[in-house]
Amino acid sequence: MQLTHEENQFERKTFPITLVCDHIYFQQNIGSLFRISEAFGVENIIFFGKDIPLTLRKINKTSRSTHLHVAHSIIEDFTELQSFLLDNDFEIISLEIASNSKPLKEVRIPKNKKIALLIGSEINGISEELLKLSHQIVHINMFGKNSSMNVVQAASIALYEITSL
């Protein structure tokens, strides 16, 4: 018998994870990022960039009202984002295929450290300036001809791995 949302036995838990979304503009992805963040107990979402389209009516179609339950903010200025990440002593992990990235399965989270998981735009990925701030750059091993996947799917896989550690 299928359980309702109220009947499930999942433990309610919040992880010290901030999801940093580098210039993500597609509203369906934004809504889905709220939904997956709520499901995995993400503490906070930061949308980095100018003119982020947080049109709640459109986001709600994919977020299913989870945007009401996940703390979030917009930071437009790189220096402000850099200060936030460094001043709060995050372990900065970028999810990106790069020359120095390692498989996601090899990610290591220092004990008692908050995590900033950086994910990149639908078009350009994570900017070089953010990659330079990263303590770890990880990628998801893929076995087909394509070398990328939708940002929400990638974030889902990464959050599953990180919250399973």
pLDDT tens-place string over residues 114-142: 999 999 999 999 999 999 999 999 999 99
What CATH homologous superfamily does 15-141+151-164 map to? SPOUT methyltransferase, trefoil knot domain (3.40.1280.10)
- In the chain, the percentage of residues whose pLDDT exceeds 90 is 81
d(CA 56, CA 59): 5
pLDDT tens-place string over residues 11-58: 888 999 999 999 999 999 999 999 999 999 999 999 999 999 988 788
Tabulate helix, strand, coil % of the chain (nearest 5): 35, 25, 40
